[in-house]
């Protein structure tokens, strides 16, 4: 059974939960995709710096070396709310996502109220269960 996916696929998750995936057919293709990604970041920073200074932007060597390359966005823009995870709020504000090891040696993941310890209005911790889909996409603010 054949797959339409590229044989090389690397996905990273941003702190807000956006997924960025890089795919390539081989090592040379991966090198090109990474070079283009870095070039895109550099170009965006250069454009921003140029706008601040009021100067013009000069095309780079990498974009000249790969004139037919295309950058395809297959994830939502970074300003969109993530569809999975992304934190939780309570009446006291943004809850802190914490992952740690229990006294019994297991892993726990949960959202903790930002109220001070001992505050009678402090909200109950919302633990993420291992069978929940969020368990695999949980991004902690702190690790204990």
Domain boundaries, the chain: 1-83, 89-143
Query: Which is higher by pLDDT, 142 or 35?
Result: 142
133, 84 in Cβ contact below 8 A? yes
Q: What is the pTM of this model?
A: 0.42
Check pLDDT > 80 for residue 78. Answer: no
Question: Mind listing the pLDDT tens digit for each residue in 1-55?
Answer: 445 677 787 777 777 677 777 788 888 877 787 777 777 777 777 777 777 776 6
Cβ-based neighbours of 65, under 8 Å, separated by 6 or more: none
Terminal C-alpha separation, the chain? 44
Helix and strand numbers (H, E) in the chain are 2, 8
Q: What is the pLDDT of residue 70?
A: 53
Measure CA 9 to chain center: 15
Q: When comparing pLDDT for 56 and 71, which is higher?
A: 56
């Amino acid at each position: 059974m054949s797959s339409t996916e590229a044989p090389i696929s690397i996905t990273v998750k941003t702190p807000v939960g956006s997924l960025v995936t890089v795919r390539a057919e081989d090592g040379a293709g991966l090198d090109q995709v990474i070079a283009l990604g870095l070039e895109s970041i550099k170009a965006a920073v250069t454009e921003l710096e140029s706008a601040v200074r009021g100067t013009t932007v000069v095309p780079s060597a990498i974009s000249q070396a790969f004139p037919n390359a295309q950058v395809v966005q297959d994830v939502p823009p970074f300003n969109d709310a993530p569809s999975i995870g992304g934190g939780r709020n309570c009446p006291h504000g943004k809850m802190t996502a914490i992952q740690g090891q229990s006294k019994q040696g297991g892993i726990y993941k949960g959202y903790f109220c930002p109220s001070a310890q001992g505050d009678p209005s402090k909200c109950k911790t919302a633990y993420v269960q291992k069978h929940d889909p969020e368990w695999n996409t949980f991004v902690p603010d702190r690790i204990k």
